[in-house]
Amino acid sequence: MKSSGFKQTITLVKKDILLELRQKYAFYGILLYIISTVFVINLMIDKPEEKIWNALFWVVQLFVAVNAIAKSFLQENRGRLLYFYSLVHPRSFIVAKLIYNIILMSVMTLITMGCCMMFLGNPVTSFWYFLGVILLGGISLSLLFTMLAAIAAQANQNAALMAIMGFPIMLPLLMLLSNIAKSSFITVFQPGLPKMFLMLSSMDVLIIALSLVLFPFLWKD
């Protein structure tokens, strides 16, 4: 049974990746959004100071996550979901979506970082630490919005519902990520950093657990 579930998950991840490669307009649309947003920021404020740079980066990350991950469920019509319902276990389906969106968001995160450093300057002093933090942040955002997209998909494919439900959760998450990333711009040790990493990991584990528990009930509807 476990082997079957694992194979189902891998097959679904491959399916989503192949669809993304075939429908390149979605990927290029998000890429254009990242480049144009960062370029406009550059035109307005040129090279911002460290705190502003950090804040702008996470704001861009937020909107990239919404645009990139919303389509993971919203592109699946009722007929296709019913077809998958007859073939795979709901937990295999949601785990596959989580894995695929983690991969997608990791790629988008690297692109966003490259664009910000190119157009807005590079105030980062600890590059590898910053890279690790933003990848962890991209994973956290992908997990959160995948769960919200799954819920919104059951409400007449309402993308606005995803943003409304996620607002109370995304604010503390973004503040936490921004505070963790601050250590990338200073050489002094930031107190409370291990505690913030623990909080971030706990939120990720909680979101995964909620997805695995709640999605089978949503799937039946």
- Does residue 3 register a pLDDT over 50? no
Domain that holds residue 164: 2-220
What is the rounded distance in angstroms from the CA atom of residue 154 to the CA atom of residue 70?
Answer: 13
| The two structure tokens encoding residue 21 | 């490669």
Question: What span, in angstroms and rounded, lies between the C-alpha atoms of 59 and 184?
Answer: 17
The pLDDT tens digits for 129-147 are 999 999 999 999 999 988 8
Q: Which pLDDT score, from 0 to 100, does residue 205 have?
A: 92
DSSP readout, 84-95?
Answer: HHTTS-HHHHHH
Q: Which helix or strand (DSSP H or E) is residue 221 part of?
A: none
CA distances from 170 to 8, 69, 74, 197 (A): 30, 14, 20, 16
Spatial separation of the C-alpha atoms in residues 50 and 125, rounded to whole Å: 10
Burial class, 104, CB count within 10 angstroms (exposed 0-12 / middle 13-18 / buried 19+): buried
| pLDDT confidence bin for 107, thresholds 50/70/90 | very high
The domain total for the chain is 1
Task: Summarize pLDDT for 16-37 with one digit per residue, the tens.
Answer: 888 888 877 778 888 898 999 9
> How far apart are alpha carbons 120 and 115 in whole angstroms?
8
